[in-house]
Structure 1
């Protein structure tokens, strides 16, 4: 049985679209989110913690993620390498001093290729919650952590996937512009036959 051209084209389009979605990082999946921080956002601590921990709704890629902890003078107070656990958390060692406000800035890449950027605040030894950052300072902080993340170098896997996605989309466009073959109608032949002579047979 031979497949009709229309059905074959529809099947090929389905394959190409599915491949395009698979080649695009994070497509079709809900975005990852920050679910908890330690210290909590807005916390007023009496003593400085030895590390900050961020927990997300999905598993982060430790090698592609970046977390910084800074005081209000902009000094980085991290004291070690970022580490993950067997779940969805990242842990960054810090060396903090009492009597100041601190900002946690993060740019996290998840295992599916999607990412998340954000900032959280806490204070140590001030007896009051941290003062909120101005919109300008908050934006600069986000941009700074993203730039530091980009220093990890190019992600060849994601670049290759994006290139494959582009090729797949080109294939979809080509299939869409291909004209369907026109149907031809073959006229039916009519054959005229002379009526047969009928004779009565009488016994």
Structure 2
């Protein structure tokens, strides 16, 4: 086997290993529970809403909101992360109906995880709502799941193309 073919084979295997090798690290944190429970009905709202995961979370960039059936924010203040749980103060709720807990956290492996949980308030409360929810800042409205994949694909193609060009180049005639 010539040196060029060996180099081509090694380059191809390296690129394939880079692209395929991420499968094991692909497991992210998963929700194991929430307060209130997902889909539950409650007569009075909790003092705080929380979501618990199967592994510890990173505290950086964590967001969590509680949005009522009126489209207003009912969460009060910033979320806190303690171990496997993210929580946010809620306070007295208002209108009856479905409330949505939206969250975005960074798992222990560095990947962002986002989602929603819901609960229904069955008895009208007397709380005062926050601002209207919406816009690009709420946790449940993110269109991306974190770091885009395309730069890694472009990088792999460039590395592969460079290795292929190097392996297939013809030596210059010395003459």
TM-score, normalised with respect to structure 2: 0.65
Tell me which of 54, 57, 63 is aligned to 1:57. 54
**In the TM superposition, what are the counterparts of 1:1-203 in structure 2 within 5 Å?**
4-19=3-18, 28-86=25-83, 88-97=84-93, 100-101=96-97, 102-126=99-123, 144-147=138-141, 163=151, 166-176=154-164, 178-179=167-168
- Cα RMSD for the two superposed structures: 4.0
CA distance in 1, matches of 2:114, 2:152: 26
Contact 1:17 1:172 in 2 (8 A): no
Whether the 8 Å CA contact 2:39–2:119 is kept in 1: the answer is yes
SS at match of 1:122: strand
CA contact (8 A) 2:136 2:142 kept: no
> Per-residue displacement from partner, 1:68-98 (whole Å, max 9, x unpaired)?
1011111111122211112x22111111326
Residue aligned with 1:7, SS: helix
**More displaced 10-residue stretch of structure 1: 55-64 or 140-149:** 140-149
- CA distance in structure 2 between the aligned counterparts of 1:148 and 1:170, rounded to whole angstroms: 30
SS class of match (1:55) = strand
The CA deviation at 1:58 is: 4.0
Unaligned runs of at least 5 residues, structure 1: 128-139, 182-203
Normalized per residue, the structure richer in strand is 2
Indicate how the Cα distance of structure 1 residues 91 and 50 shifts in structure 2: closer, same or farther if over 3 A, else same: same
Q: Could you tell me which runs of 5 or more consecutive residues in structure 2 were left unpaired when the two chains were aligned.
A: 125-133, 171-175
* CA distance in 2 between partners of 1:66 and 1:38 (Å): 16
> Given that residues 102 and 140 in structure 2 are in contact (C-alpha distance below 8 angstroms), is that contact kept between their aligned partners in structure 1?
no
Instruction: Sort the Cα spacing of 1:164 and 1:149 in 2 relative to 1 into closer, same or farther, 3 A.
Output: closer
Q: Give the structure-1-normalised TM-score.
A: 0.57
SS of match in other structure, 2:33: strand
String of CA shifts for 1:127-171, please: whole Å, max 9, x gaps.
9xxxxxxxxxxxx89995355799xxxx9xx58x97566334311
